[in-house]
Amino acid sequence: MNTSIRSLAVAVTLLLGALVVPAAPAAAAVPAPHCESGGSRFFCLGSSTGTTTWHVTIVFPPATDVIYTTAGPNLSTRCPNPGRGLQVFYTFVSNGVTEISGNTSFWCNPGQWT
């Protein structure tokens, strides 16, 4: 009797183990970039390593997306549309996982740096 119960327990354990599917690694959220603007330019600093893809959305109907690629965690460029609101986030690959930052919103300032 003990042998059949032990065999049944082993069989159930093996069956349950076969049914468990390992979870796919999720993209880890990284901090949103810190951005400043002035003189119709903007600068953003992220926490990425290596090649970074910056996703910039000009918030003005219709919304327009602009993509920039940099070799590191900084983006410095002219405002696509000075005097408009921007939303920025970045992505990069670390150890085979695509990391996605939080989103930062700011005003693309044609005047003094803020």
**Which pTM was predicted?**
0.72
In tens, the pLDDT along 58-70 reads 988 788 999 999 9
> Residue 40's pLDDT band (boundaries 50, 70, 90)?
very high
The three-class DSSP label of residue 2 is helix
Residue 69 lies in a domain: yes
Averaged pLDDT, 35-45: 96
What is the token pair recorded at 70? 């940099």
Is 5 within a domain? no
Output the pLDDT for position 114.
63
> Which of 68 and 16 is assigned the larger pLDDT?
68
Give a yes or no: residue 112 inside a domain: no
What pLDDT does residue 22 have?
Answer: 39
Instruction: State how many domains the chain has.
Output: 1
Percent above pLDDT 70 for the chain: 75
Taking the C-alpha atoms of residue 16 and residue 74, their distance in angstroms, rounded to an integer, is: 48
Q: Mean pLDDT across the chain, nearest whole number?
A: 81
Nearest CA to 83 out of 23, 38, 44, 48 is that of: 38
Is the model's pLDDT at 25 over the cut of 60? no
State which residues form the domain around 81: 25-107
Calpha distance 80→3 (Å, rounded): 75
**40 in a structural domain:** yes
Domain with residue 73: its CATH number is 2.60.40.10
Of the pLDDT bands very low, low, confident and very high (cuts 50, 70, 90), residue 19 is very low
Confidence of residue 4 (pLDDT cuts 50, 70, 90): low
Q: Is 66 helix (H, G, I), strand (E, B) or coil?
A: strand
Three-state DSSP at 78 gives strand
In angstroms, the CA 29 to CA 19 distance is 29
Q: Considering only CA atoms, which of 99, 108, 104 is closest in space to residue 40?
A: 108
Q: For residue 87, is it within any domain?
A: yes
3 belongs to a structural domain: no
